[in-house]
Amino acid sequence: MLSQEDNDLLTHSGPATPMGQYLRRFWMPVLLSRELPEPDCPPKKVTVLGEDLLAFRDTQGRIGLVDPVCPHRGANLYYGRNEECGLRCVFHGLKFDVDGHCVDIPIAPAGTNRERLRIKAYPTREAGGYVWAYMGPPQNIPEPPLLEFMTLPASHCYVSKKWQDCNWVQCLEGAIDTAHFSFLHMVVAQDEAQALAMLQHAAIGAQGEQNARIRWVRDDPMPRFEINETHVGLTIGGARRADDGQLYWRIAQFMQPNHALVPSAFPGENYHGQTFVPVDDRSCWIYTYTWNPDRPLTEQELERCRRGHTVHAEVDERYVPLRTKGNDYLIDREVQKKTSFTGIEGVSEQDAAIQDSQGEIADRTREHLFATDIGVVRFRRAMLQAVRALAERGEEPAARGFPRGYTMRSGGWVADQGKSLSDVMMERFGHVQGVVVPRGQEENA
């Protein structure tokens, strides 16, 4: 449970808010690269952290993320012509480059001062199939985080995004609350074939030993949690009873300020993660990535991702999920009775339904938390402390100094009882924080 003040601090991210200032200290994805597929293609409207912006790819392939308001008389540059390394306003022809410089004023004499016509432009980078932007103070730009999928050949990854109708924080809390798998994503079908068909839709179903893992998750709804701090966030390990007195660990990673890695993968399997980017305080984009460090994804795996299986959602051409708040996620009460716990198709859609249902901004003043919520509690505490440290004492977030600390994995493991989370991390990942050396850089490690 939080006070109203803390709930507001956690969830409001406009430019004038402490969380807004905090989030702006980090790079975050703002588009899929494929949304700007070629030089001089149509620009895209983008709203991030409550700011309406315009993204475009210029003739040389560089990406601009700019204020869309033309400084002449306020026309929107969205209608502009993307031509010869700049976006030209179609009202009277002023032209701007990716850095926001006004590079042509056809309606004024040569020598007119262009500097005062400069528009706001944020630095961008392309990596891992996303366009990343940094919206913080320009004098102090950190290295972008190096998530593992960003270090791999494109053939090893699939990236997507989906719209969600609620505040980003409750989506992230859903991702690190790994206790909910015993219910929200559970199968109730008695029929083996039916259960398998449903599991094949889910991340966990793509993998071997699915019946044992599902059984362990179903039969132990009260995982014991242990949490470690990392250089960039928190490792959240939940242990459930497995067979022969062993424990089944599902280990998620929270990485500052808005990334979470999924706890399902066993060695050799595909990894998944998500980054939650506020559009405004009542909606967000969820950027979702699947990667395999050891091999390219197979055509079948890619097809499953494209069709919105595993952790990806089934979306329309605007990246809005087909099963969404407006249609009650196409909940099927017959299916809910006989096959799946929710009657809603898709892990991503099950998550969305329940996160949206917490309200556009979840009211954390009325909660009653249990021991299984400890990951969420620790996340909130870490965020509130870091946001206050920046707002009150000017302390820059420590995670910014560890871009390589983001090259980490999450996943599952079966271990003997009596082991600490740190022991289990060493067994599963060979590193206490789950950090891996980027591909091709092993000799520099």
355 exposure class (CB count in 10 Å sphere: 0-12, 13-18, 19+): buried
Count of positions (residues) in the chain = 445
Nearest-CA neighbor of 383 among 422, 375, 51? 375
Q: Which does 320 bind (CB under 5 to 8 A by kind): Fe ion, ligand FES, none?
A: none
Kindly write down the DSSP assignment for every residue of 193-211, as one continuous string.
HHHHHHHTTSGGGGSTTHH
User: Three-state SS for 172?
Assistant: helix
Q: Which does 280 bind (CB under 5 to 8 A by kind): Fe ion, ligand FES, none?
A: none
Q: Which is nearer to ligand FES, 104 or 165 (CB)?
A: 104
**With CB under 5 A, what is the number of residues at the site for Fe ion?**
1
Among 10, 70, 147, 204, binds ligand FES (CB under 6 A): 70
Q: Which does 73 bind (CB under 5 to 8 A by kind): Fe ion, ligand FES, none?
A: ligand FES
C-beta of residue 69 within 8 angstroms of C-beta of residue 76: yes
CA distance 13 to 8: 9
| 67 binds Fe ion, rule: CB under 5 A | no
Among 8, 14, 52, 72, binds ligand FES (CB under 6 A): 72
The nearest distance, CB 84 to ligand FES, in angstroms, is: 16
Q: Which does 72 bind (CB under 5 to 8 A by kind): ligand FES, Fe ion, none?
A: ligand FES
Q: Which is nearer to Fe ion, 18 or 174 (CB)?
A: 174
Ramachandran sector of residue 88 (left: φ over 0; alpha: ψ -120 to 50; beta: rest): beta
Phi, psi (degrees; rounded to nearest 5) at 163 = -80, 145
The nearest distance, CB 262 to Fe ion, in angstroms, is: 9
Kindly give, in sequence order, each residue whose CB lies less than 8 Å from that of residue 392, ignoring residues fewer than 6 positions away: none
- Residue nearest Fe ion (C-beta atom): 351
The nearest distance, CB 185 to Fe ion, in angstroms, is: 6
| 73 binds ligand FES, rule: CB under 6 A | yes
Q: Which is nearer to Fe ion, 174 or 293 (CB)?
A: 174
The amino acid sitting at 375 is: G
Phi, psi (degrees; rounded to nearest 5) at 17 = -95, 155
The pair of structure tokens assigned to 143 is 């290295």
Q: Which does 351 bind (CB under 5 to 8 A by kind): ligand FES, Fe ion, none?
A: Fe ion
Residue with tokens 């990951």: 375
Q: Which is nearer to Fe ion, 94 or 315 (CB)?
A: 315
Q: What is the DSSP letter of 23?
A: H
Stretch that binds Fe ion, among 91-99, 234-242, 351-359, 428-436 (CB under 5 A): 351-359
Phi, psi (degrees; rounded to nearest 5) at 314 = -85, 115
Residues 89-128 as x/- pattern, contact with ligand FES by CB under 6 A = x-xxxx----------------------------------
Q: Which does 89 bind (CB under 5 to 8 A by kind): ligand FES, Fe ion, none?
A: ligand FES
Nearest-CA neighbor of 155 among 35, 284, 299? 299
| 351 binds Fe ion, rule: CB under 5 A | yes
Instruction: Give me the residues that bind Fe ion (CB under 5 A), please.
Output: 351
Instruction: Give me the residues that bind ligand FES (CB under 6 A), please.
Output: 70, 72-73, 75, 89, 91-94
